[in-house]
Amino acid sequence: MVQKLDYLKETPSQTAGPYVHIGLAPGAAGFDIYERELGWDIAGPNATGERIRVEGLVIDGTGSPVKDVLLEAWQANAEGVYPHPESAGETEEGFRGWGRVITNFETGEWAFETIKPGSTPGRNGTTQAPHINLWIVARGINIGLNTRLYFEDETEANAADPVINTIEWEKRRATLLAKRSDKDGQIVYRFDIRLQGENETVFFDI
């Protein structure tokens, strides 16, 4: 026998279930309870940079949209700074960097308004291409899924991105690229997430 290491074990994950909205987006569940629901404004009014809309579907292994998903986004500002003391630099007043959206119960569409993030430092002096970190929970998902949204028009930065380049299967890298379009003067990035099967989105163990 040896001494027992005294680390605690992480609390195990469980599914967020179909009624996740009650706790995290009660307005969508059908009742107003909080003065302020959290997560509706990622960038705030003072953020510099390009205003964008990001939208998409989460699609299950049968090809059907998942209509009870909750997504959270975590991103840097246009200068590549996260609003956190371990990210070097300052962010604009009111820049939260974090957002929370749910899918439409009928269509499964989700969307959030934000600004396009800048490049952030990678490990060992590298630079990460602009990206938004996404975390997905839902009924049937036992532990939240982490992925990253990159921008298809950042061709050069994406080609040098240390995380994209850890994906051995080059074909799978494209599942992380959001597609840019201009809808009535608004810049929209489309990012569909495929949980399972053909063109399955790359998920990370972070």
Coil, helix or strand at residue 141? coil
Nearer to other proteins, 109 or 186 (CB): 109
Smallest separation (angstroms) from other proteins to the CB of 173 = 10
**Quick one: DSSP state of residue 87?**
S
Nearer to other proteins, 29 or 187 (CB): 29
Nearer to other proteins, 68 or 154 (CB): 68
Smallest separation (angstroms) from other proteins to the CB of 137 = 6
- Rounded to the nearest angstrom, the gap between the alpha carbon of residue 35 and the centroid of all alpha carbons in its chain is 25
Q: Which two tokens stand for residue 152?
A: 């298809």
Smallest separation (angstroms) from other proteins to the CB of 116 = 15
Nearer to other proteins, 78 or 163 (CB): 163
Burial 159-188 (b: 16+ CB within 10 A, else e): eebebbeebeeeeebebbbbeeeeeeeeeb
Coil, helix or strand at residue 19? coil
Smallest separation (angstroms) from other proteins to the CB of 176 = 10
Smallest separation (angstroms) from other proteins to the CB of 122 = 6
Nearer to other proteins, 15 or 188 (CB): 15
| Distance of alpha carbon 180 from alpha carbon 53, whole angstroms | 10
Coil, helix or strand at residue 171? helix
